Amino acid sequence: MGTTGYELKRISSNNIVSPKGFKAAGIHCGIKHKKKDLALLVSEVPASVAGVFTTNAVQAAPLKVTKEVVYNTKKMQAIFVNSGNANACTGKQGIADAYEMQQLAATKLGIDPSLVGIASTGVIGELMKMDPVRKGIEIIEIGQSLENAIDFSQAIMTTDTVMKNTAYSTVIDGKEVQIAGTAKGSGMIEPNMATMLGFITTDAKIESEELQKALSEITNKTFNAITVDGDTSTNDTVLVMANGLAGNEPLSPLHPDWENFYNALKAVCEDLAKSIARDGEGATKLIEVEVEGAISDEEAIKIAKTVVGSPLVKTAVFGCDANWGRIIAAVGYSGATVDPEKITIKIGNALMVEHGEPVPFSEEELIQILKANEVKIYVSLEQGIGHGFAWGCDLTYDYVQINASYRS
């Protein structure tokens, strides 16, 4: 008998190496001036792997290398990451450098290069500083401590202001299974994917094909439902490694505990996605938009993402301006099927529009709602049963300042 419906438990340490058989490290090697910039995540054994990548037609060299591992080898044992340089738009030399990074990590660990994924984040259009990378891989030492996990999370950051970590445990076949994740992302965030890197580890046993299906489906409801500034990057990658060391029977949708695994993976992805939206460059508030009554879940997410991505909505939230006209305008131009006479809008618990008609509200009450660190916008359409969320952040003066001087 399965344990479907088992309540998820959040792991307080939020440790990327808490699942059995994973080690990590992060160091400063010299790609960046001072901060950590080189990271390594390793499984004791080759793991099943799934990946989702940017839809930008311009894709960085590391994606070519990592896609070969995900789609051809279908197993991964290590992920070698650098920050400070995206290795994007760097031509043949960039490809050569990415393959060299793969080989350097493989030699360090004594494994086949085809089991090593590569990820890079940072400035576009500059050749990788390979000497620091070569020296860094020689001295980096992986481990299973919380400090090792923190070092890894710090080493993948660029303009992030905080680390983004989460972890959950569940029960499968009577055995504890853990899923943990860490991510980076702050600006150039418009997933499908975004300027973000996400790495997820689990000791669950699952074949790569089933893991890929689950990740792709969950990504559409989590990572692809966030937006900071509408820019889709060249390097965006989310990878999941599942090494099977928990000892459960192989997972698939037919397994009685499939729901436990799926919900845990979704919880990790949603936590990381919301953390990225919350940490948008210069952001002061997380904005959540919930849409119900759309003709499909896909249309609900489309509308929610249009609202949360609207510069006018984002600036209104920043300025604590209860301008619901900007919200209903975004719903209207989203391209989804809507009936203006059936639209209902709430900000927080305050009803603003009901069936397309304005409702009197207290400006003072709305100002207090909009001053909160998290602002929720609710839209009801009465078109169907579609339901979805999207997350973003306010648009501030600091966003302009940060991105006007990014290279300097």
Q: Could you read off the pLDDT of 29-55 as tens digits, one per residue?
A: 999 999 999 999 999 999 999 999 887
Say what the pLDDT of residue 177 is.
97
Does residue 189 carry a pLDDT above 50?
Answer: no
Residues 6+ apart with CB under 8 A from 147: none
Boundaries of every domain in the chain? 9-275, 286-404
**pTM, full prediction:** 0.81
| Residue 2 pLDDT greater than 70, yes or no | no
CATH of 9-275, one of 3.30.70.2660, 3.10.100.10, 3.40.630.10, 3.60.70.12: 3.60.70.12
pLDDT number for residue 401: 59
pLDDT at 191: 38
> Which of these is catalytic: 195, 219, 234, 396?
195
Quote the tokens at residue 315: 């600036």
First to last CA, the chain: 59
Say how many C-beta atoms besides its own lie within 10 A of residue 131's C-beta. 11
What confidence category does residue 57 fall into, taking pLDDT thresholds of 50, 70 and 90? confident
8 Å CB contact between 114 and 69:
yes
* Res 1 pLDDT > 90: no
Which CATH number among 3.10.20.340, 3.30.930.10, 3.40.630.40, 3.40.190.10 corresponds to the domain 286-404?
3.10.20.340
Q: State the Cα–Cα distance between residues 255 and 245, nearest whole angstrom.
A: 18
Q: Where does the pLDDT of residue 282 fall: very low under 50, low under 70, confident under 90, or very high at 90 and above?
A: low
pLDDT at 80 over 50: yes
What's the pLDDT at 230?
Answer: 45
Q: Is 195 among the residues known to form the active site?
A: yes
Residue 233 has a pLDDT of 66
Residue 190 has pLDDT above 60, yes or no: no
3-state secondary structure the chain: CCCCCCCCEECCCCCCCCCCCEEEEEECCCCCCCCCCEEEEEEEEEEEEEEEECCCCCCCHHHHHHHHHHHHHCEEEEEEEEEEECCCCCHHHHHHHHHHHHHHHHHHHCCCHHHEEEEEEEECCCCCCHHHHHHHHHHCCCECCHHHHHHHHHHCCCCCCCCEEEEEEEEECCEEEEEEEEEECCCCCCCCCCCCEEEEEECCCECHHHHHHHHHHHHHHCHHHEECCCCCCCCCEEEEEECCCCCCCCECCCCCCHHHHHHHHHHHHHHHHHHHHHCCCCCCCEEEEEEEEECCHHHHHHHHHHHHHCHHHHHHHHCCCCCHHHHHHHHHHCCCCCCHHHCEEEECCEEEEECCEECCCCHHHHHHHHCCCEEEEEEECCCCCEEEEEEEECCCHHHHHHHHCCCC
Asked, as a colleague might, if the bond just before 193 is cis with ω within 30 of 0, I would say yes
- Residues of the chain with pLDDT > 90, as a percent, come to 73
Instruction: Give the model confidence (pLDDT) of 283-337 as tens digits.
Output: 788 899 999 999 999 999 999 999 998 989 988 998 898 889 999 999 999 999 9
